[in-house]
Amino acid sequence: MLTFKNFNIADWFSFYRIFAAPFLLLLIWLDLRLAFTWLLLISYSTDAIDGYLARKLKITSPRGSQLDSFGDQITLVVGLIGLFYFENEFIKTNLVLIGIAFIPYITQMVIAYVKYGKATAFHTYLAKLSAVLQSIFILWSLFFNPEYILFYIMLIIGLLETIEEITLIFIYDNWASDVKGIYWALRDKRQLKKTTNRNKNIS
């Protein structure tokens, strides 16, 4: 049975992002752009903090990885809602490009839920880079104005990251967390064990 004692400090930073989401939505509804942007910045900052603490204190776990991913996803969605509301003209102008980037992302989420029954939590290097670029772009746009060069870079990295995530889903028969990328996945004991078993069955 899960109780408060079951969660570590890194988990609680992830919980913060989840709990902050309704307040962020309220700030959008109240049209408080600056307050929303600062609170969003705090939420993004906790993402870097919980990952660092988990590694530093050696308290990483599949549950923590899944919780971290959920916190990231909900914060991204709220950030995009804020960007859509406060920078509506920019979004409408670039709706096709945004759609091209999001269709593979939604596809990846569907494949993951069909295969694993939950979202992935690979936390690859590309995923981390993509998350950083997304947060920088959203915050820059809200504090100042959208920057197209950063926008294009964010979309390209996001597409590459999504393609890698889909590839990893097909590599791993069972849900796995904390995979650095395809190169590391091909040498991962969890994946190698699956390959070895298949070879035995063939022979």
193-197, long-range: CB within 8 Å, 24+ apart, which pairs? none
What is the torsional sign of CA 40, 133, 89, 73? negative
Higher per-residue confidence, 150 vs 203: 150
Are the beta carbons of 65 and 178 closer than 8 angstroms?
yes
Residue 170 DSSP code: H
Alpha helices in the chain (DSSP H): 9-29, 33-56, 62-86, 88-93, 95-116, 125-143, 148-171, 182-185, 189-202
Give the pLDDT of residue 1. Answer: 38
Are the beta carbons of 66 and 119 closer than 8 angstroms?
yes
Higher per-residue confidence, 107 vs 67: 107
Instruction: Give per-residue pLDDT as tens, 81-96.
Output: 999 999 999 999 999 9
Q: What are phi and psi of 165, to 5 degrees?
A: -60, -45
Instruction: Give per-residue pLDDT as tens, 11-56.
Output: 777 888 899 999 999 999 999 999 999 999 999 988 777 666 656 6
Flag whether pLDDT at 99 surpasses 60.
yes
The first and second tokens of residue 166, run together, are 């889909």
Whether the predicted model's global pTM rises above the 0.85 cut? no
Q: 118 falls in which pLDDT band (50, 70, 90)?
A: confident
Instruction: Give per-residue pLDDT as tens, 129-184.
Output: 999 999 999 999 999 999 999 999 999 999 999 999 999 999 999 988 888 899 98
Are the beta carbons of 44 and 139 closer than 8 angstroms?
yes
Integer angstrom CA distances of residue 114 from 1, 23, 65, 110: 27, 31, 19, 6
Cα–Cα dist 53/5, whole Å: 17
Q: If we measure between CA atoms, which residue out of 139, 148, 161, 131 comes closest to residue 97?
A: 148
Q: 189 falls in which pLDDT band (50, 70, 90)?
A: confident
Residue 177 DSSP code: B
Higher per-residue confidence, 13 vs 58: 13
Give the pLDDT of residue 56. Answer: 64
Q: Specify which residues 120 forms β-bridges with.
A: none
Give the pLDDT of residue 2. Answer: 43
Higher per-residue confidence, 62 vs 109: 109
Give the pLDDT of residue 47. Answer: 77
Q: 187 falls in which pLDDT band (50, 70, 90)?
A: confident
Vertex 42: Cα angle to 73 and 68 (nearest 5): 35
**Neighbour count for residue 146 (Cβ, 10 Å):** 18
Give the pLDDT of residue 12. Answer: 74
Q: 4 falls in which pLDDT band (50, 70, 90)?
A: very low
